[in-house]
Every structure is written in C-alpha cells, then in structure tokens.
Chains A and B, each alone.
Chain A
Amino acid sequence: MEKVQRTWRRIVKLFEVNSIVEELTGAEALVKALIRERVEVIFGIPGGATIPIYDYLYDVDEIRHILVRHEQCAAHMADGYARASGKTGVCMATSGPGATNLVTGIATAYMDSTPIVAITGQVPTSMIGKDAFQETDIIGITASITKHNIQPVKPEEVPLAVRKAFYIASTSRPGPVLIDMPKDVQIKKGKISFEGEIRLHSLCSNPKVDEKKVESISRILLNAETPFILAGGGVIKANASRELMKISEFLRAPVATTFMGKGGFPENHELSLGPIGMHGTYAANRLIREADVLLAVGVRFSDRTTGETESFSSNLEIIHVDIDRAEINKNVRADHSLLTDVKTGLDMLYRKLRGIGSQKNRKKWVKRVSEMKENSERIQAPPIGKINPPRLLKLLRKLLPEKAIVTTEVGQNQAWAALYFKVYHPRTFITSGGLGTMGFGFPAALGAKVAKPNEPVVDIAGDGSFLMTCQELATSVREEIPVVVVIFNNRVLGMVAQWQRLFYGRRYSQVNLGETPDFVKLAKAFGAEGIRVETYEDFKEAVKEGLRNNVTTVLDVIISPEENVFPMVPPGKSLDDMITGG
C-alpha cells in the first residue's frame, strides 16, 4: 500500500523572465498575460463586470474571441478545445449569473480532468459581501469543482495569477482553474511586471518512481497467465498511447478502455476489447473475469467502469499506475501501485519488461481473446425500429475519415457511440465521462472544431440532450464553425426510459418529450442546415452533405423509442450480471 502520511512537496519556480515594469490596468495585464500563455481563443459572453477586459480585447489581434449564447457552453467549448488539442482552453463570463452558468461546465471539466482556465468578472472589491447587483461568491461556489481558484485584489497580482492558473490547470493531473477578477482590479492601474516566481507546494509534475517497484511489477506481469490492461483518460492526457501499445503487444495483453480512455488504444487492433463497464463490450466484461493480473493505467476505477467493486477485484492482482496519489486505493484496492505520469510509468515498465525478457507463453490467451471478440460481434440485440443505432454508427465510421473527431451527448447516444463507433486515435473521441452532462457534446464539438479546423467534427446526440444547448447553433453559424450533429431522435429521454423499462416495470415517468421541436426547421431557423433521416440510404447522403457543407448540419435521425443499449450491467451490479439483450 502507498504510504500516505507524509507529503512534503517540492517548491516549483515558475516564472523568470526579464520584463520591464509597465503602467497597466488590471484588464490590460490580464489580456497581456493571456497572450504570453499563447492563448489563441477565448469562449465567452461579456457583461457588466467584464466590460473593461472586453474593451481592451477590442483592439487585440492575437486572441480570437468566440461569442457564445450561454456561459455553460463557453466552458464546454473550452473543454472540447482542450480535449481535442491538448492545450488549455479558456472561457470567460461576467459576475453573478454569468459565473454560476459556468459551473456545470467547470464541474464537467473537473470530473474529466480537462485543463481549462475560467475567467469571471466580479463586483468591485468594495462591494463584495454586500449582495451587490450580480454578485455571487464564485470562489466559494467553485472551490470543490476546481483544482484551484484565485481572486487577485490588486492589478499587480494579475500576471502571476494567470501564470499560476495555467501552470496548475495543465500540470500533473490536469483540471479547471478559475480566476475571479473584481471590476476595480480590472480598471485600476498598477506597476505591472511579468517577472517573478511562485511557490507551489502541492504540485509535483513528475514524482520519482521507485525502480525496485518497477522491477517487481514487471515480474508480476511477465509471470501472469492472463494479463489484462485497463486504460483510462490518463493515457490520452499523458500522450502515452504509443507506450501503451508497446506494452500490450509485448505482453500479448488485451486492452479495454474506460469511456475516457476510448481512443487511447486503436479499436481496430487485434488486442483491443473496446470499452468495459456498465456499457462495455461483451468481450471486455467477460474477459476481465478470466484475467489474473490487471494493469490499470490512468484510471480512477469509476463505478461505471467497475460495476460492483468487490467482485471486480476478486481473484485479480491489481497494478495501478496513476499520477494522482489520491486515486490509489480510493475506489478499488491496488495490490501494487506506481505513482507517476502514465507515459513515464509505462515507458519504464516496458524497458524493464524487455530487459528481463522471458515470460509466460500466452498463445492460448490471445486465442481466447479473439474468440471472445468474435462472440462479442455476434451477440446483438434484435433491431426494433427501421434504423438500428449500432448499425448506423458502424456506417458512420465508414463515412468518416480516421482522424475525424466525434463528441457525444449523454445517455443512450453516448453508450451506443462508446460501444459501436470504433475510434482509432487519441483525442478523437470526446465525451462527458464523469459528470455525465447532457448538452455537453454540441458545444464541445464546436470547441474541438476550433482546435482542429481541418478535421470533420461530429456530435452524436439525442433529442433530449441536444435541446439543452441547441442555442449554440447561432454561435456555430455566426462564428463559422461547421460541425455535423447526428440526433438519435426517439422523442424520449432514452436512457431513463430504458431503466424504467428494465427495472421499473415500464412505468415511463416524465420521459416523453413528444414530437416537438422539428429539428430540421429548428436548424434552418438558426441559418444552419437540417436534414431528416429515415433510412440508411438517407443517412449516407446526409452525412456526405454535412461534411461538404460550410454550415453546421443537423441530421434528425428517427429511431424507435423502444430501443435499448446492450450490453448493459445493471447499476450497482457486478460485471458478471451483464445483460446482452441478444
């Protein structure tokens, strides 16, 4: 077990540039500091408490500002931008409601460890705590959903606050940081210097790895009869896909991913099992029960991944590699752990494995893997409506280039996409894995498209989710950010309906959405394109048209409200209790 008692940390020097002292306002200092951080784009909406910042931005060419229609989407766009590019995303909102509207987006980024910096306006320092117009204690509100938050109280503090925010957001396990800018701090002039250093006690970018542990873990892996790899979002964040593949191929160990890890290992690889868990593949959920050693990398063992944890870890020797010490032994007890950046950890393991060399013969295991993968393909729920979502997603895969980026909303659309849309490259599958935020996919798609303008971006949506953030069609049209939205339109809140169908005796309480709106007309009203899809043929044509269009294209795909996502592990149950529906 990892020793937890003593946690002295290093002091990190951050900021040592020779810079002249300039007389600047806090707003100018903020924007100049953002330019120094090489921020290319800010997603935001101005308001009373951010006008000084916007006034300065008016003359700035280095930063593109994308005017969104709801602050929640500014955060989701920054998040999608960050996930697609690996850079830190930036969003901005005014005080009060602007700031609170960011909260869902910040919490989403926090749960999925995405580096974003959120900037909020605040009432002047003299008014704070007096319930001023559009005042809210956003520092207090976001304390538990950010890695850190900062409120500079003098213009002189702004440059270091920005440097600190970007450093914290992107270092070690990434996450959101919020900077709250009181209006008087934006307006006041100060002697601003971009020089200095910050001492950060609680952040270690790369803890030292114990060589002896690497060796003992390597021996366990080499001696395993049926090793199994579980890859999470940490693999993608650490850009460790190549290292992961080397280890998998060397050990001949199959790789299952979490929803967040999808894309970290190419799903057309013979050792890929696809996602595991509540909506994992048949092969992944079954084969983990036959494994003797589990190498879990960059995962936090979410309940959606493990199902009931006791049966998950029984008869399984677990090796956990992660950068966050608070994740070790949190949800699942690890027999061995490596506290390190995933890339470094995997690289050290791979070298040690090769150095030692001799290992168990795993021909049988590999054969078993391919057998189970074939079974997995065969077991499928019988189609219900005219269009079967799994089949449609397989078709979509064929229509899109390999590196196209797919985002999802949350619910059945997300689970279908995870199960049936194969992903070959990291950062090309973007989903709200932890918080499960409906309405995330569309703004995230816009953010991803801004980061990767040359790649097609497709949001796989449901009608319920899409309606939560569809006003961003206006943003996409006006800012010329064309994406394709595929709505699985079943006129119900599908995943809740599925649970009601399977576990609540078909008592469909408050899930029927009805025939409104007409998504084709809705898209057109915004100046986007809308196409109704009722057959596979329609779909093919519509996707091709969507990819050609230079405006966002919404495909309204009519499916049956009776469709279920299978396989499924009932909530709170063991992976063994998987329902295949086939």
Chain B
Amino acid sequence: MEREEIIEAIVEHRPGVLFRVSNLIRRRNFNIETITVGRVNHETARMTMTIKGEREIIDQVINQLSKLMEVIKVRKLNQKNTVKRELALIKVKVNDNLSRSDIIHCIDVFRGQVVDVSSKSLIAEITGTPDKINAFIQLLSSYGIKEVARTGITAMERDRKLGGS
C-alpha cells in the first residue's frame, strides 16, 4: 500500500552527503515530497524527508541508507507519535485598508505573524502542521496570493505516547 512516510536521518555534516542520500532514493524512482536539512552541531546534521511509496520499498531504502558511511542513524518515524511542523511565508495582495485589516485578523486567528508590510502586499509567517498551513493558504487565497515559500516538514518523535499529532 502506498503511503506517505517521514524518514529522519542523522548524517555527517559534510559536502556530498545530501547527494548520496537523494541519489539512493532517486534510484527507486521515489519523489521526495519535502526535505529539510539543518545542522545539529559542528559534525552532524539532521535530515527530515517525506516520501510517498510502498511500505516494503521504503523500509528497504532505509536499510540501504543505513549502509551509507555518512549516515549515522536513520529511521522511519511513527507518525501517530510525532510532532510535525512546517513554516511558511506567504505574500498576500492588499487592495485597501479594509482588506489589510481583514487579512491581519485571519493571521491572528491562525496565530501567525505579519513580518513585512508594504502598500500593495504583506508577508505573513505561519508555523504548524501541513494541514493547518494548507487551510491558511486556502483562506488567504481569496485575497490573492503573490508568493508562497514553505520549508517542508520537520518532525520529532515524542518520548511518551500520545494520540494524534
């Protein structure tokens, strides 16, 4: 059965590592839906990838990833027990003062922030689950969206089990 999985990898922080990881995933013809990479300390980085595919094949890819010398640890996250967050910057058209205050109200409701304002647009920043961001973008689309920049999911498993995300 095809489903979306989140893979977390702790890797060495050096040139070429992202290439090796993505090259292995490419070989199985998977599209990486989202990927975030960030440094953990001066030696290691953390990669969070979401991939859609058959469970068995994703498990196999994880096994193959674990054989890369630069990969310190790799695993599939248990999504029921994982905190998922994404950050998005959205540039929205502003036609007049009335719509501006409407938009700012929406941003408040979603606990976002206005990070830049100009006469014809404003930039909203929002973090949350991908679903929340989708809903937010949909809401703002009626005002006219000029640009969207999404980071892709970063995620972390909880130590104790909880329901939902």
Within the complex, the shortest CB–CB distance from B30 to chain A, in Å, comes to 15
- Whose C-beta in chain B lies nearest to the C-beta of A140? B19
CB <8 Å contact, B75 and A325: no
Interface SS of B by simple majority: mixed
Q: In the complex, which residues of chain A have a beta carbon less than 8 angstroms from the beta carbon of B16?
A: 139
B74 at the binding interface (Cβ < 8 Å)? yes
CB <8 Å contact, A325 and B66: yes
Q: In the complex where A7-B74, A202-B69 touch, is A326 in contact with B64 (Cβ < 8 A)? A: yes
Q: Which of B55-63, B81-89, B122-130 contacts A (4 or more CB under 8 A)?
A: B55-63
CB <8 Å contact, A326 and B73: no
B141 at the binding interface (Cβ < 8 Å)? no
Please provide the chain A residues from 323 to 343 with a CB less than 8 Å away from any CB of chain B in the complex.
Answer: 324-326, 328-330
Report the bound CA distance from A143 to B27 in whole Å: 12
- Whose C-beta in chain B lies nearest to the C-beta of A331? B60
Q: In the complex where A201-B69, A201-B71, A201-B72 touch, is A4 in contact with B23 (Cβ < 8 A)? A: no
Report the bound CA distance from A430 to B23 in whole Å: 31
Q: In the complex, which residues of chain B have a beta carbon less than 8 angstroms from the beta carbon of A558?
A: none
Q: B60 contacts which of A147, A168, A203, A326 (Cβ < 8 Å)?
A: A326
CB <8 Å contact, B23 and A143: yes
Q: In the complex where A144-B24, A329-B60 touch, is A6 in contact with B67 (Cβ < 8 A)? A: no
Count of chain B residues with Cβ under 8 Å from any Cβ of A? 24
Please provide the chain B residues from 13 to 59 with a CB less than 8 Å away from any CB of chain A in the complex.
Answer: 16, 19-20, 23-24, 27, 56, 59
Q: In the complex, which residues of chain B have a beta carbon less than 8 angstroms from the beta carbon of A133?
A: none
A63 at the binding interface (Cβ < 8 Å)? no
Q: In the complex, which residues of chain B have a beta carbon less than 8 angstroms from the beta carbon of A326?
A: 60, 63-64, 66-67
Report the bound CA distance from A202 to B9 in whole Å: 12
A58 at the binding interface (Cβ < 8 Å)? no
Report the bound CA distance from A400 to B16 in whole Å: 50
- Whose C-beta in chain A lies nearest to the C-beta of B61? A326
Report the bound CA distance from A329 to B56 in whole Å: 9
Within the complex, the shortest CB–CB distance from A488 to chain B, in Å, comes to 36
B23, B56, B67: residue with the most chain A Cβ atoms closer than 10 Å: B67
CB <8 Å contact, B71 and A143: no
Report the bound CA distance from A131 to B60 in whole Å: 37
Report the bound CA distance from A187 to B24 in whole Å: 34
B68 at the binding interface (Cβ < 8 Å)? yes
- Whose C-beta in chain A lies nearest to the C-beta of B10? A201
B150 at the binding interface (Cβ < 8 Å)? no
Q: In the complex, which residues of chain B have a beta carbon less than 8 angstroms from the beta carbon of A5?
A: 62, 75-76
Q: B59 contacts which of A4, A9, A202 (Cβ < 8 Å)?
A: A4
Interface string of A1-20 (1 = CB under 8 A from B): 00011111100000000000
Q: A144 contacts which of B27, B62, B71 (Cβ < 8 Å)?
A: B27
Please provide the chain B residues from 68 to 112 with a CB less than 8 Å away from any CB of chain A in the complex.
Answer: 68-76
Within the complex, the shortest CB–CB distance from A145 to chain B, in Å, comes to 11
A200 at the binding interface (Cβ < 8 Å)? yes
- Whose C-beta in chain A lies nearest to the C-beta of B58? A4
Within the complex, the shortest CB–CB distance from A434 to chain B, in Å, comes to 16
Report the bound CA distance from A328 to B60 in whole Å: 9
Q: In the complex, which residues of chain B have a beta carbon less than 8 angstroms from the beta carbon of A140?
A: 19
CB <8 Å contact, B75 and A202: no
Please provide the chain A residues from 142 to 156 with a CB less than 8 Å away from any CB of chain B in the complex.
Answer: 143-144, 147-148
Report the bound CA distance from A452 to B75 in whole Å: 45
Q: A200 contacts which of B19, B56, B69 (Cβ < 8 Å)?
A: B69
Q: In the complex where A6-B75, A7-B74, A144-B27 touch, is A325 in contact with B63 (Cβ < 8 A)? A: yes
- Whose C-beta in chain A lies nearest to the C-beta of B77? A5
CB <8 Å contact, B19 and A143: yes
CB <8 Å contact, A9 and B72: yes
Besides the contacts A139-B16, A201-B73, A325-B63, what 7 more A-B pairs have beta carbons closer than 8 Å? A7-B73, A7-B75, A8-B73, A143-B23, A148-B69, A203-B69, A325-B66
Top 6 nearest A-B pairs (CB, nearest first) are: A326-B63, A7-B66, A201-B72, A5-B75, A4-B59, A148-B69
Pick 6 A–B contacts, CB within 8 A, sort by A: A5-B62, A6-B75, A140-B19, A202-B66, A202-B68, A329-B60
